[in-house]
């Protein structure tokens, strides 16, 4: 055994001396000298320092303990294979899939089991025996799986990242490979690591071991006695910082500065600004490091802020491959057939820029209309059914015919493309071995020449994509290599897809290294570095210290029984890493923490309080960000707006001010500019919506509710994407009920019947149910929702009387009113198709005089009932929740009933006396008069809920509505399209909610509602 010298050193202390000694030894014996450090980052840094001196080195001579174990294994193991971490996960996944582990086989179990097994192996825990009386059925099952896992490694001569340490220890026994060994800075090695270190000591001629140590038990507990050193050299340096947490008296430490920032974004901006200030003072970016306790969650902030401040940076950890959009696309090629050709998966594939498809958005819309949800066959069947339905409509008028023909052609093209795509994807399906799956997948990507990589663009993005692609190709290679080790077994595509998913989730993309950039690293990577300027951010409770002690699949009690790490062990370790990070700073360390995360306050780390108490640090940073390009642009805008700065050459001052005013002035207060939809009179508007234009009631009501929605729909011709609804939509439910009511009553009346009464009820019921069944059978849905919907329509023993039966019952109840159902689906200004509209329908619009102008109206009236004396009632069927109120009619927001009354009056010369709304839905079947002539009490009081809606003069009410229409026409023709004037939430049915910039708070801030013409 070699004499071992133990050096107790503060973190980072004496490292240059160790490096110098190592260099001398390596020059004497390059292949027999090793230098072991705790992190790859530190290993690279030492290699860089030595490289700068021009000293040649053997590759991997400076490494981590796992790195050294790997080197030993690669050089000596002949019959075994080392598998990556992802390989362990694959094996666990295969064992779970094949074995009988019902208590632990669940989503996410593979990752947790892999973590647990690594702890059990490296800490040499005899599981589940170590649990003693805490053992349970679950721990027995985990124990069986653990044993199966180790057996699998053994039988297939595999070594994983954890068993590697033990394997390397055995391989080193009796060897004299490493004659001089330097170990620096390992913090409390676990049992398997200690074994390897002792084996190194055993085989080496010289063994130097520097342990991070200070007389501060709050952070340093390992004195290295387990090494049985022959000599112990105490450290020479003392440090106030190393005594942190020890409650010792300390003085002011000028090294440290502290700042609280508003939130994480503000914190990273402040760091970026400070870096720019340092750079302005001559500090090189490579002399600065920014450390975060949780690097992965901080990187997105850094990626957003540092480029804005022009700070060059390099992140030490690559991002997970599964977060790459390119990799997600490549995986989605498998996901489409593996998940049964789901609509959203197929559309995702067809619309991604990384694959050579171009018709994705068109197919998206058609697939929604065709009600496709999933299933390779359903795609073609439903698209074909959609085309057939349109072909049936080809008998219509000429312009519609052309439109339909074009649409049918595009459906055929979509079918062709989808058929081709599915034929390609079909080669991926079926049971295959992993290698066969990979071969089929690669061959398909080759044939598609995928992924399509952009030739130009943001260099950083292009580099990232190239790296992601390389990482993905390597992941496939790894899986192929592992497949050779796993039993040759065929598996269906979903299983292969899940295997590849596991591998990709556990793989990180390569990283961009640049020693001349600001280093963005994890706090644990800072130990022993020598960083002139160090920032440590995000110091909040739960992030640092992070006191998670629980092992996966173990309770607190079980974790304690397994004697892994107690809470105080973890706290000590967190304190150590914090102290080691502080000690790595040479000139200054800038600590910071965010006060809130969005609106949720954050608790600053107890470590910050400890620093405050011990060292009374000064603060750093202020609220200004002069180096931010975004902030600069905002400032420049302000100067331009005030005329205090010359405009950039490409932009006149007036133009710049105009643009600024759009946001800062026009989008505040009342609606008063073109940016609020007040676009002013336009000849094109006058022509399109002038005297001869025909309006529907729906369009006018849309304008009445929200002129901006009218503008989007009627002027720009925009329409929201149709919902991808596999069942009956609200609109279809409405048409179904309308059609049944129309067919029933037109046949009923044609056969000489009057209103439905108690006497005629049985016959009426038989007829309406027959019609209802016929109409419902036209739909081919099979979903449970549709089956239930049909039952609620037609009734059943289980569901009770259906909607149609309740409709007739209500009809019989109000028959005493004397109203006689007369006409159904009376249309005007629309094509008249026999059998679908009342015989009184006309193709021409109805001309309704509005004083000196005329309203040309088109529409379809659900039902007209007659009263003696040439009087009539207009009824509207509603199958949704909403029904109009008298107040809305008076306010000119609900126009349908008054305008339809006037249309019938114009066409027939009769007198409208009421407008009713017939609610026909599962929870309610009721005809409710919205307004009625108060002189006709005998007729209307039999209608439930009619007491409040009698009006003195229906004609006057209609005239009020027409006055409103006149105003709306003027608004439309005058180009006045502001968003709705009600500060309350927009209606849920507005399909433009996701794109509209309506802001209710703006109206409130403007001091109330805004008139339709834009004035407050």
Q: What is the b/e burial string over 699-730, where b = at least 16 CB atoms within 10 angstroms of the residue's CB? A: bbbbbbbbbbbbbbbbbeeeeeebebebbbee
Stretch that binds ligand SF4, among 232-240, 456-464, 703-711, 852-860 (CB under 6 A): 703-711
- Number of Cβ within 10 Å of residue 106's Cβ equals 11
Q: How far is the CB of 131 from ligand SF4 (least distance, A)?
A: 59
Footprint of ligand SF4 on 621-660 (CB under 6 A) = none
Q: How far is the CB of 686 from ligand SF4 (least distance, A)?
A: 23
Taking the least distance from each CB to ligand SF4, the nearer of 679 and 847 is 679
Q: How far is the CB of 708 from ligand SF4 (least distance, A)?
A: 5
Taking the least distance from each CB to ligand SF4, the nearer of 218 and 1012 is 1012
Cα 892 to Cα 930: distance, rounded to the nearest angstrom? 14
**What H or E segment, with its residue span, contains residue 283?**
none
DSSP class of 550: P
Do strands 871-878 and 853-867 pair parallel, antiparallel, or not at all (unpaired)? antiparallel
Taking the least distance from each CB to ligand SF4, the nearer of 182 and 671 is 671
3-class SS of residue 930: strand
Return the residue matching tokens 């009553």. Answer: 745
Q: What values do phi and psi take at 933, rounded to 5?
A: -70, 115
Cα 660 to Cα 121: distance, rounded to the nearest angstrom? 63
Return the residue matching tokens 């990799």. Answer: 327
Stretch that binds ligand SF4, among 197-205, 255-263, 563-571, 705-713 (CB under 6 A): 705-713
- Number of Cβ within 10 Å of residue 173's Cβ equals 9
Contact status: 620 vs ligand SF4 (CB under 6 A):
no
Cα 643 to Cα 679: distance, rounded to the nearest angstrom? 28
Q: How far is the CB of 893 from ligand SF4 (least distance, A)?
A: 13
Q: What values do phi and psi take at 721, rounded to 5?
A: -60, 140
DSSP class of 540: B
Taking the least distance from each CB to ligand SF4, the nearer of 278 and 706 is 706
Cα 196 to Cα 201: distance, rounded to the nearest angstrom? 9
How big is the chain by its Cα radius of gyration, in Å? 39
Taking the least distance from each CB to ligand SF4, the nearer of 408 and 1010 is 1010
Q: How far is the CB of 676 from ligand SF4 (least distance, A)?
A: 10
Q: What is the b/e burial string over 434-459, where b = at least 16 CB atoms within 10 angstroms of the residue's CB? A: bebbbebbeebeeeeebbeeeeeeee
Q: Where are the alpha helices (DSSP H) in 795-895?
A: 803-813, 886-890
Do strands 853-867 and 846-850 pair parallel, antiparallel, or not at all (unpaired)? antiparallel
Taking the least distance from each CB to ligand SF4, the nearer of 460 and 668 is 668
Greatest alpha-carbon span in the chain: 122
Q: How far is the CB of 369 from ligand SF4 (least distance, A)?
A: 22
Taking the least distance from each CB to ligand SF4, the nearer of 786 and 992 is 992
Footprint of ligand SF4 on 136-155 (CB under 6 A) = none
Out of 123, 264, 432, 709, the residue judged to bind ligand SF4 by CB under 6 A: 709
Q: How far is the CB of 982 from ligand SF4 (least distance, A)?
A: 9
Taking the least distance from each CB to ligand SF4, the nearer of 628 and 702 is 702
Q: How far is the CB of 993 from ligand SF4 (least distance, A)?
A: 4
Return the residue matching tokens 């290699």. Answer: 47
Stretch that binds ligand SF4, among 298-306, 537-545, 690-698, 704-712 (CB under 6 A): 704-712
Q: How far is the CB of 998 from ligand SF4 (least distance, A)?
A: 3
Out of 313, 708, 742, 918, the residue judged to bind ligand SF4 by CB under 6 A: 708
Cα 219 to Cα 869: distance, rounded to the nearest angstrom? 100
Footprint of ligand SF4 on 476-535 (CB under 6 A) = none
Cα 961 to Cα 892: distance, rounded to the nearest angstrom? 5
Q: How far is the CB of 713 from ligand SF4 (least distance, A)?
A: 9
What is the Cα 70 distance to its own chain's centre? 39
Q: How far is the CB of 709 from ligand SF4 (least distance, A)?
A: 4
Q: Where are the alpha helices (DSSP H) in 434-492?
A: 434-448, 459-485
Q: Provide the residue count of the chain.
A: 1016
Taking the least distance from each CB to ligand SF4, the nearer of 347 and 706 is 706
Taking the least distance from each CB to ligand SF4, the nearer of 709 and 878 is 709
53 close to 24: Cβ distance less than 8 angstroms? no
Cα 352 to Cα 360: distance, rounded to the nearest angstrom? 8
Q: How far is the CB of 996 from ligand SF4 (least distance, A)?
A: 3
Stretch that binds ligand SF4, among 307-315, 676-684, 706-714, 931-939 (CB under 6 A): 706-714
Cα 730 to Cα 742: distance, rounded to the nearest angstrom? 18
Q: How far is the CB of 328 from ligand SF4 (least distance, A)?
A: 31
Q: How far is the CB of 659 from ligand SF4 (least distance, A)?
A: 23
Q: How far is the CB of 961 from ligand SF4 (least distance, A)?
A: 21
Taking the least distance from each CB to ligand SF4, the nearer of 570 and 986 is 986
Do strands 158-159 and 853-867 pair parallel, antiparallel, or not at all (unpaired)? unpaired
95 close to 149: Cβ distance less than 8 angstroms? yes
Q: Is the dihedral of CA 185, 188, 190, 195 positive or negative?
A: positive
Stretch that binds ligand SF4, among 193-201, 260-268, 701-709, 895-903 (CB under 6 A): 701-709
Residues 6+ apart with CB under 8 A from 315: 295, 299, 302, 511, 512, 520, 521
Q: How far is the CB of 881 from ligand SF4 (least distance, A)?
A: 17
Taking the least distance from each CB to ligand SF4, the nearer of 347 and 1012 is 1012
Taking the least distance from each CB to ligand SF4, the nearer of 66 and 991 is 991
Count of chain residues binding ligand SF4 (CB under 6 A): 11
Taking the least distance from each CB to ligand SF4, the nearer of 798 and 995 is 995
Taking the least distance from each CB to ligand SF4, the nearer of 614 and 700 is 700
Q: How far is the CB of 658 from ligand SF4 (least distance, A)?
A: 24
Out of 95, 378, 571, 706, the residue judged to bind ligand SF4 by CB under 6 A: 706
Cα 818 to Cα 947: distance, rounded to the nearest angstrom? 18
Cα 162 to Cα 85: distance, rounded to the nearest angstrom? 9
Footprint of ligand SF4 on 214-233 (CB under 6 A) = none
- Sketch the per residue contact string, 324 through 343, with ligand SF4: x for CB under 6 A, - otherwise: --------------------
Q: How far is the CB of 661 from ligand SF4 (least distance, A)?
A: 22
Q: Tell which residue, 370, 349, 456, 459, has the closest CA to residue 412.
A: 370
What one-character-per-residue DSSP string does 842-901 give? BSSPEEEEETTEEEEEEEEEEEEEEETTTEEEEEEEE-SS----HHHHHTTS--HHHHHH
Footprint of ligand SF4 on 943-1002 (CB under 6 A) = 979-980, 986, 990, 992-993, 996, 998
Taking the least distance from each CB to ligand SF4, the nearer of 189 and 971 is 971
Taking the least distance from each CB to ligand SF4, the nearer of 32 and 979 is 979
Taking the least distance from each CB to ligand SF4, the nearer of 744 and 998 is 998
Q: What pairs with residue 319 in β-bridges? A: none
Cα 814 to Cα 926: distance, rounded to the nearest angstrom? 10
Footprint of ligand SF4 on 766-805 (CB under 6 A) = none
Binding site for ligand SF4 (CB under 6 A): 706, 708-709, 979-980, 986, 990, 992-993, 996, 998
């Amino acid at each position: 055994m070699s004499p071992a010298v133990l050096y107790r050193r503060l973190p980072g202390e004496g490292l240059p001396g160790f490096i110098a000694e190592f260099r001398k030894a390596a020059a004497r014996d390059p292949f027999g000298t090793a230098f072991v450090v705790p992190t790859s980052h530190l290993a690279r840094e030492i290699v860089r320092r030595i490289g700068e001196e021009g000293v040649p080195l053997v590759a991997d001579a400076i490494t981590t303990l796992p790195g050294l174990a790997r080197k030993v294994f690669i050089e000596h193991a002949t019959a075994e294979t080392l598998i990556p971490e992802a390989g362990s996960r694959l094996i666990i996944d295969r064992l779970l899939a094949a074995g009988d582990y019902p208590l632990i086989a669940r989503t996410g179990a593979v990752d947790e089991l892999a973590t647990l097994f690594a702890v059990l192996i490296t800490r040499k825990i005899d599981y589940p025996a170590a649990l003693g009386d805490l053992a349970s059925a679950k721990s027995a099952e985990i124990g069986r799986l653990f044993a199966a896992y180790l057996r699998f490694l053994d039988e297939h001569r595999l070594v994983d990242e954890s068993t590697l340490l033990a394997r390397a220890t055995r391989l080193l026994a009796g060897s004299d490979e490493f004659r001089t060994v330097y170990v620096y800075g390992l913090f409390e090695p676990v049992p398997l690591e200690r074994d390897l270190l002792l084996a190194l000591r055993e085989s080496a001629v010289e063994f130097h071991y520097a342990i991070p140590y200070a007389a501060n038990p709050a952070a340093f507990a390992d004195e290295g006695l387990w090494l049985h050193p022959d000599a112990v050299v105490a450290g020479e340096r003392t440090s106030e910082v190393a005594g942190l947490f020890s409650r010792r008296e300390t003085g002011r430490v000028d090294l440290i500065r502290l700042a609280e920032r508003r939130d994480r974004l503000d914190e990273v901006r402040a760091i970026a600004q400070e870096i720019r200030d340092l750079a302005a003072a001559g500090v090189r970016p490579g002399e600065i490091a920014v450390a975060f306790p949780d690097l992965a969650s901080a990187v997105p902030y850094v990626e957003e802020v540092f480029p804005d401040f022009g700070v060059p940076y390099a992140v030490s950890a690559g991002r997970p491959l599964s977060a790459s959009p390119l990799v997600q696309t490549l995986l989605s090629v498998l996901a489409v057939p593996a998940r049964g050709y789901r609509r959203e998966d197929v559309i995702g594939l067809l619309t991604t820029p990384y694959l050579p498809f171009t018709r994705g958005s068109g197919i998206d819309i058609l697939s929604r209309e065709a009600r496709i949800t999933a299933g390779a066959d359903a795609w073609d069947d439903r698209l074909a059914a959609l085309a057939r339905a349109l072909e049936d409509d080809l008998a219509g008028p000429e312009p519609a015919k052309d439109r339909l023909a074009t649409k049918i052609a595009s459906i055929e093209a979509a079918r062709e493309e989808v058929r081709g795509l599915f034929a390609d994807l079909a080669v991926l399906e079926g049971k295959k071995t992993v290698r066969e799956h990979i071969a089929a997948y690669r061959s398909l990507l080759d044939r598609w020449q995928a992924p399509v990589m952009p030739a130009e663009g943001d260099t950083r993005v292009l580099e990232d994509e190239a790296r992601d692609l390389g990482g993905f190709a390597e992941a496939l290679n790894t899986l192929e290599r592992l497949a050779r080790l796993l039993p040759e077994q065929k598996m269906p595509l979903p299983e292969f897809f899940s295997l590849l998913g596991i591998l990709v989730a556990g793989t990180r993309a390569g990283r961009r290294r640049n020693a001349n950039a600001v280093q963005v690293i994890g706090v644990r990577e800072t130990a022993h570095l020598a960083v002139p300027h160090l920032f440590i951010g995000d110091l909040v409770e739960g992030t640092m210290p992070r006191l998670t002690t629980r092992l996966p699949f173990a309770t607190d009690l079980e974790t304690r029984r397994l004697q892994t790490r107690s809470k105080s062990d973890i706290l000590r370790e967190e304190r150590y890493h914090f102290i080691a990070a502080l000690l790595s700073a040479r000139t200054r360390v800038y600590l910071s923490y965010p006060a809130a995360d969005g609106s949720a306050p954050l608790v600053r780390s107890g470590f910050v309080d400890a620093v405050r108490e011990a060292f009374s640090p000064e603060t750093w940073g202020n609220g200004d960000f002069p180096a931010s390009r975004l902030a600069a642009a905002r400032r420049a805008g302000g100067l331009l707006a005030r005329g205090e700065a010359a405009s950039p050459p490409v932009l006149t001052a007036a133009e710049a001010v105009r643009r600024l005013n759009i946001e800062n002035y026009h989008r505040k207060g009342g609606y008063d500019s073109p940016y609020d939809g007040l676009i002013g009179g336009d000849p094109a508007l006058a022509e399109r919506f002038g005297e001869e234009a025909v309006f529907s009631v729906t369009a006018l009501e849309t304008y009445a509710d929200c002129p901006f929605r009218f503008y989007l729909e009627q002027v720009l011709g925009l329409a929201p994407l149709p919902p991808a609804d596999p069942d009956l939509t609200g609109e279809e439910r409405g048409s179904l009920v309308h059609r049944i009511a129309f067919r029933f009553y037109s046949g009923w009346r044609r056969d000489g019947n009057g209103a439905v009464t108690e006497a005629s009820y049985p016959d009426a019921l038989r007829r309406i149910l027959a019609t209802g069944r016929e109409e419902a059978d036209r739909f081919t849905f099979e979903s449970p929702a549709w089956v239930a919907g049909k039952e609620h329509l037609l009734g059943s023993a289980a569901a009770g009387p259906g909607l149609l039966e309740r409709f007739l019952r209500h009809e019989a109840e109000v028959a005493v009113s004397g109203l006689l159902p007369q006409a159904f689906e009376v249309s005007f200004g629309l094509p008249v198709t026999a059998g679908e509209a009342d015989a009184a329908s006309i193709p021409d619009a109805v001309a309704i005089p509005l004083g000196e102008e005329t309203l040309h109206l088109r529409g379809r009236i659900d039902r007209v009932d007659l009263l003696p004396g040439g009087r009539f009632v207009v009824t509207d069927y509603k199958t949704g929740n909403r029904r109009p109120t008298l107040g809305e009619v008076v306010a000119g927001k609900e126009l349908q009933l008054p305008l339809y009354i006037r249309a019938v009056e114009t066409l027939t010369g009769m007198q409208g006396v009421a407008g009713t709304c017939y609610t026909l839905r599962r929870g309610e079947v009721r005809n409710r008069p919205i307004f009625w002539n108060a002189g006709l009490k005998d007729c209307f009081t039999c209608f439930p809920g009619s007491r409040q809606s009698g009006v003195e003069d229906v004609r006057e009410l209609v005239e009020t509505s027409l006055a409103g229409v006149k105003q709306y026409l003027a608004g439309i023709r005058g180009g006045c399209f502001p968003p709705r004037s009600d500060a309350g939430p927009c209606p849920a049915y507005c399909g433009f909610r996701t794109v509209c910039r309506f802001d209710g708070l703006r109206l409130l801030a403007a001091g109330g509602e805004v008139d339709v013409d834009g004035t407050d």
